[in-house]
Copies of this chain bind each other. A is one copy, B any other.
C-alpha cells in the first residue's frame, strides 16, 4: 500500500506558499490507518519500549493505538496549561513564532524508562527536539522518534540526537 495515495495535498495552508500534507483522508480509511499502525508496530515491537509519548494533538492519533498495541503506557506531551499536575516545559522557535510544550514531572514510573516519541510530521525538527528534552527532564531514556511524514527538504533530521533512531513512514 502506498500511503501517499491517502494523503491529500492542500496548497497555501496554513500560510501562502506552504503545501500542507493532510492526513485526515488517511485516517478516515480504516485499511490505510491500520496499515500505518501495522508499520509502526513492526518497527517497534522488539525495541523494549516502556512508554509511547505523543505530541499534541496529531501525535495522540498515532501514539495511543501504538502504545496499546505494544502494551506500553501512553504519555501526552501537551501545549502549555493543559496538564494539571506539576510539569517541565520547553520552549522552541518555529517558522511562524515560538511554541512551548509540557510534560508531567511524574510521567514515567521508573527512571530510565525507554520512551518512544511519536508525532505525525517531522518538519524543521524543533517540536521533536523539545519533546526529546522533556522526556529526558522527566527521567526517561529516548528510545526513538517515530513519524508518519518527513519533509526531507526541511532537514529536521539533522537536529535530532544522533544516537536516537528516527523513523518516518513517508518522505516528501
Q: Which A residues fall within an 8 A CB radius of B?
A: 8, 10, 13-14, 20, 22, 24, 27-30, 33-34, 37, 51, 56-57, 60-62, 64-65, 67-68, 71-76, 78, 81-85, 104, 107-109
Q: Shortest Cβ distance from A110 into chain B, in angstroms?
A: 11
**Which secondary structure characterizes the binding site on chain A?**
mixed
Q: Which residue of B lies closest to A36 (CB)?
A: B68
- Give the complex CA separation of A27 and B60 in angstroms: 11
A64 & B67 in contact (Cβ 8 Å cutoff)? no
In chain B, what residue has the closest Cβ to A71?
B30
Chain B nearest CB: distance from A15 CB in Å? 11
> For the complex, what is the distance from the CA of A74 to the CA of B62, rounded to whole Å?
11
Contacts of A65 in B (CB 8 A): 64-65, 68
